[in-house]
Structure 1
């Protein structure tokens, strides 16, 4: 009679040894800076659907990398999903007109809130979430917290 295979708990790091938390944060911060630079560089190109998609993906990737920097021990899916949710919430808020008022009062907020609702941006946010998930998985897991001892 065949023996059942032993089960292992899910391994968020793909079997790799955990990195120090500071190393994970440095990687995420550096990649967030590169993502921001790439997103700003897209402003130099003529607007077309591909540029819009890339901009939306980079916007979400930037948010996700910042979240991963603040919560380096989270599994890769959490900052990715939270970044997509934040991006989608901001996009849907454009339907209310509040972001337009804020951008009118302070034009640089256009980079945060955009200019108008575009359902196509939601696809870009999903792509950005996948980028965050993949990058965070590639960086590897952060070391678990050290147990706190009572004084």
Structure 2
């Protein structure tokens, strides 16, 4: 996937996360944010390694999200808590997987379309 499109996807993912927080309260923005966090990591993986296959990007983004979540079982430095969180929450693991799966599906669909369509 071309880097400008991937960069745009990353920006739109951040905008979607902020929009969800502005529009809803409660569990909707929390779990949508978890999924979108993983989608952003997916896009960042593709920016760093543009030839990454969708399954590998999904595995890397879900794996990194899970690793960060499990790291919360220990002590996260205060300066990193806004980015990495501070409290382990098992349902987050599901939503990271949902985000990676959604990014994989969109990426796979985009790769399957012939150029110009």
| TM-score between the two structures when normalised by the length of structure 1 | 0.67
Instruction: Output aligned runs, 1:2-151, within 5 Å.
Output: 24-44=2-22, 45-46=24-25, 48-97=26-75, 99=76, 102-103=77-78, 106=79, 109-140=80-111
Rg larger for:
1
Structure 1 residue 92, shift from structure 2 partner: 0.3
Q: Which has the higher helix share?
A: 2
Q: Contact conserved, 1:25 with 1:70, CA < 8 A, in 2? A: no
Distance 1:36 1:111, change over 3 A: farther
Give per-residue Cα distances to partners, 1:81-109, cap 9 Å, x unaligned. Answer: 10000000000000012x1xx22xx3xx3
Q: Which has the higher contact order (CA 8 A, sep 6+)?
A: 1
Q: 5+ residue gaps in structure 1?
A: 1-22, 142-151
**Can you give the 5+ residue segments of structure 2 that lack an aligned partner in the other structure?**
113-117
Assess, with a 3 A threshold, how the Cα gap between structure 1 residues 123 and 60 changes in structure 2: closer, same or farther.
same
RMSD (Å) for aligned C-alpha atoms:
1.7
- Residue 5 of structure 1 corresponds to which residue in structure 2? none
